[in-house]
Amino acid sequence: MKEIIYHCKIKQYAIEELPSADSALILKAKKATERAYAPYSQFKVGAAVLLANGEIITGNNQENAAYPSGLCAERVALFYAQARYPDVAICCLVIAAVGDIPATSFITPCGACRQVMVECEKRGKLPMRILLCSETEVLEVDAAADLLPLKFDL
């Protein structure tokens, strides 16, 4: 038998410890939650994507009665960013949520979103920083690939 140990470095910050550029991205992700369409779950998620060219793209979750036809905020933002700027790498993705969740809870991406994030990294040839937000703190992951150790990799 062979044992494989996987390590992922995650940094935790208080919101006020972050650089102003990160704080601005977080505000954009939180603002994007206001435009989410979540009539079934009442769980509104927003995402903000910082591109290598300085553009910021936001997205939010879009539910549908024909579950699972909706899309998560992360994929909405990432797909829109790549549709508008197909040759520009994604530097950072911020995820925030509002709803019936504790103020200290971090929102983490689902498996499908994690795979899309990894593909975006591969496409852009650049690690994508991930910021996962609660009301008071932020978790930072250096690359999307760190969130999905057994990713599809063609």
List active site positions: 74
Structural contact between residues 47 and 94, judged by C-beta atoms closer than 8 angstroms: yes
E-strand ranges in the chain read 10-14, 44-51, 56-60, 90-98, 129-133, 137-141
Structural contact between residues 67 and 55, judged by C-beta atoms closer than 8 angstroms: no
Question: Is the CA virtual torsion 134, 109, 8, 18 positive or negative?
Answer: negative
The 10 Å Cβ neighbour count of residue 16 is: 8
- List helix spans (H) across 36-137: 73-84, 111-124
- List helix spans (H) across 42-89: 73-84
